[in-house]
Amino acid sequence: MSIYFNISKFPHDPILGLTEEFNKDPRKIKLNLGVGVYLDEDGKIPVLNSVAAASNIIFDLFKNRGGYLPIGGVTKHTELVKTLLLGAERSINSHNKLTTVQALGGTGGLRLGAELLKRVIPSTSVYISNPSWENHRNIFEAAGFPVKEYPYYNPENNSLNMADYLDTLRHVPSRSVIVLHACCHNPTGIDPSKAQWTEILNVFKEKGHIPFLDLAYQGFNGTVEEDAEVVRLFSESLETVFIANSFSKNMSLYGERIGACTVSAANTKDQQKILSHLKNIIRGIYSSPPSFGQQIVSQILEKDNLRNQWEEELKHMRSRIVRIRNSLFLQLQEKNLNLDLSFIKKQKGMFSYSGLSAQHVDKLKYDYGIYVLSSGRICMAAINDSNLEYVAESIASVLEGS
Ligand code: LMR
């Protein structure tokens, strides 16, 4: 008898599984607005000029490359990442509180942190926002935690449900792990204001909750400095903070799998323990990290000319998304749908939480070849001037038909 008799086939991943389905779709006219990948005006994943310049430097260094990287990554690289998170002007003390290890993208950063948490507070629960990035639940459940939700989104007025959010954080057991989207909330595109973040932080202080900040879209709402503000606020105000960050979107380095896991400690002794456990976790899963992505990131963060070029390119990406948001809104407005769609313009980051139902989403896929997540999340970064009209007309027709 097969050893697999007691497992059934696992459902497709709601995001990457949709891309697999999209790739198999034989139709000529089709569009993937599901996965969170930035495409340029020509519908291509850009190679940033800053990344291309960094690759040339690295190619020259390739002859003298070493063997395996250290288990937690190269210290010079992890220090540069720490500075990107905390800011160059932050005190040496706050830098010293943090331990950063290289990770396989933001997902890898979350999983390493989750595995460490499981070793130190195994019986706690992890709370994610409702809704949240589809993979958050999977990551923390895979590490052995029960995953519960806190209210986040109010569909009636497309806004943050702040009252229920705070109320839930106040009533869940102390020292719970709470996953926060540090900017560009995925999927809603709705972030708390500065004042609201301070209110949220105050509940963390009252209850001793542990924030796990997911910073996957740094630079897609404001500058990289502005988008790190929440990470800085929490890491300066609380003793225990976990951070996962990613260079997939902001450097357009998806397949290179480059990100980090950063954990704060109150003292050097704890810091040494944290690093030793993170290294042990890494060694037991994939041994040591890949080299190419970290070299690109280090070159860009280290060299002023590349850093400035990168920040300009990032500014271009976020401005293009804002322009597309406005254009999609205007195009839909012209269809006289009798709906208030102004939220499309206000949402932050790569996505629009469109309010499209699962039926709308199915119709978009089957009738128009447009792939959107079943939650109604649309990747705005895959829309451009050439496909905008088709997208607006297709959305309008599924809305009209409902
Ligand atoms: C997304 O949300 O679409 C991206 O972060 C890609 C992924 O890994 O799910």
H helix intervals, 67-173 = 75-86, 92-96, 105-120, 134-142, 162-171
- Measure 159 CA to ligand 1 centroid, in angstroms: 22
Distance separating alpha carbons of residues 298 and 289, to the nearest angstrom: 14
Q: Is the CB of 133 under 6 A from ligand 1?
A: yes
Residues 6+ apart with CB under 8 A from 159: 153, 190
Q: The tokens of 150 are what?
A: 């806190």
Q: Which atom of ligand 1 is nearest to the CA of 105?
A: 8
Concatenating the DSSP letter of every residue in 226-285 gives: HHTHHHHHHHHH-S--EEEEESTTTTT-TTTT-EEEEEE-SSHHHHHHHHHHHHHHHHHH
Which residues on neighbouring strands pair with residue 48, listed in sequence order?
Answer: none
Q: Is the CB of 37 under 6 A from ligand 1?
A: no
* Residue 161 DSSP label: -
> Over the chain (402 residues), what is each successive 10-residue block's mean pLDDT?
94 96 97 98 97 93 87 97 89 73 98 98 98 98 98 94 98 98 98 98 98 98 97 94 98 98 94 97 98 97 98 98 97 91 95 94 98 97 97 95 76
pLDDT at res. 132: 98
Ligand 1 test: best mutation among 38, 39, 135, most atoms within 8 Å of CB?
135
Hey, whose CA ends up nearest to atom 1 of ligand 1? 36
Residue 328 has phi, psi (to 5 degrees) of -65, -40
The answer to whether the CB of 129 falls within 8 A of the CB of 179 is: yes
Q: For 150, what's the count of Cα atoms within 13 Å in the CB-facing half-sphere?
A: 26
pLDDT at res. 60: 81
pLDDT at res. 401: 78
- Measure 229 CA to ligand 1 centroid, in angstroms: 23
The answer to whether the CB of 372 falls within 8 A of the CB of 356 is: yes
Hey, whose CA ends up nearest to atom 9 of ligand 1? 15
- Measure 164 CA to ligand 1 centroid, in angstroms: 27
Asked whether the bond before 11 is cis by omega within 30 degrees of 0, the reply is no
Catalytic residue numbers, as ranges: 133, 214, 249
Hey, whose CA ends up nearest to atom 6 of ligand 1? 36
Q: Is the CB of 78 under 6 A from ligand 1?
A: no
Ligand 1 test: best mutation among 104, 133, 185, most atoms within 8 Å of CB?
133
- Measure 216 CA to ligand 1 centroid, in angstroms: 9
pLDDT at res. 53: 97
The beta-carbon contacts of 280-287 under 8 Å, at least 24 apart in sequence, are: 281/112, 281/115, 281/116, 282/71, 282/72, 282/101, 282/112, 283/71, 286/104, 287/68, 287/71
pLDDT at res. 386: 96
Q: Which atom of ligand 1 is nearest to the CA of 36?
A: 3
CA 135 to chain centre: 10
- Measure 384 CA to ligand 1 centroid, in angstroms: 20
pLDDT at res. 336: 87
Hey, whose CA ends up nearest to atom 5 of ligand 1? 36
Burial tier of 284 (Cβ tally within 10 Å: 0-12, 13-18, 19+)? exposed
Distance separating alpha carbons of residues 326 and 329, to the nearest angstrom: 5
Q: Which helix H or strand E contains 99, and what residues bound it?
A: strand 98-103
- Measure 246 CA to ligand 1 centroid, in angstroms: 11
Other CB atoms within a 10 A radius of the CB of residue 185 amount to: 27
